[in-house]
Amino acid sequence: MSVKNKKSRGRNVNRTELAEINGVSMPTVDDWVSRGCPVVQRGARGRAWIFNTAEVRSWRDDDIRQQSSAMSPATKEQLILRKLAAETEQAELVLAKAKEEVVPVEQYERALTKAFGEVRAGFRGVLPQRAARRLMGEMDETTFKEKMLEEVDHVLEAMADRDLVEESDLYLADDDGEEEDGAGSE
């Protein structure tokens, strides 16, 4: 795909080649385009994006200079505003915790792990036996798929009516092995 461009130095390359040459991902190239990266030919259905490596390099150099100059040291007023914003965010987090509107990440992860374990157990404990009986000897692929989907739906509906996580499963043990928040003191 690489073709010499007669108007300027550099090579004309497609999107994939441009990403490889610059050691970046395709989404990064897309971001560059949205920020003004020069394009020789815009891609469309059946037509590849074409970029000139020299033009892109020049644009990148300018873009990097602009970004670094935009990172000038913050003024005292900007720092005060940032500090106030951080303090406000911290106060809002404390309030949300007091209202029990947030949970620790560990508690959330524990609940998800438990719930996915229950889902897995539900599928492994029910689906193979039920599906095997219904699918034995079935030769029609469409019928096979329909019956399999019915069995998956059956397992999911049964689990939807269950509490996959009990409230007591959510509490974390502290360093002494006792549960926090009085979960063990019922």
Q: Which residue has the higher pLDDT, 64 or 70?
A: 64
Using pLDDT thresholds of 50, 70 and 90, give the confidence band for residue 29: very high
pLDDT (0 to 100) of residue 151 = 85
> Are the C-beta atoms of residues 5 and 41 closer than 8 Å to each other?
no
pLDDT per position as a tens digit, 94-110: 998 889 888 777 777 88
Of 48, 28, 30, residue with least CA distance to 40: 48
pLDDT (0 to 100) of residue 182 = 44
> Are the C-beta atoms of residues 103 and 180 closer than 8 Å to each other?
no
Using pLDDT thresholds of 50, 70 and 90, give the confidence band for residue 72: low
Helix (H, G, I), strand (E, B) or coil at 34: helix
Of 19, 41, 45, 17, residue with least CA distance to 30: 19
For the ranges 20-24, 81-85, 93-97, 110-114, the lowest mean pLDDT is seen at 110-114
**CATH code linked to domain 3-70:** 1.10.10.10
Using pLDDT thresholds of 50, 70 and 90, give the confidence band for residue 55: very high
Backbone angles phi and psi of 17, in degrees to 5: -65, -40
Task: Give me 169's structure tokens.
Answer: 């499963």
> Are the C-beta atoms of residues 20 and 53 closer than 8 Å to each other?
no
Q: Within a 13 Å sphere around the CA of 158, how many CA atoms are in the beta-carbon half?
A: 15
Query: Which residue's entry shows tokens 């095997």?
Result: 132
Whether the pTM exceeds 0.75: the reply is no
pLDDT (0 to 100) of residue 21 = 92
Using pLDDT thresholds of 50, 70 and 90, give the confidence band for residue 185: very low
User: In this model, does residue 123 exceed pLDDT 70?
Assistant: yes
Question: pLDDT over 90 for what percent of the chain?
Answer: 34
Mean pLDDT of the chain: 82
Q: How far apart are CA 32 and CA 34, in angstroms?
A: 5
Q: How far apart are CA 26 and CA 20, in angstroms?
A: 9
pLDDT per position as a tens digit, 142-172: 988 898 888 888 888 887 877 777 777 666 5
Query: Which residue's entry shows tokens 């019915």?
Result: 150
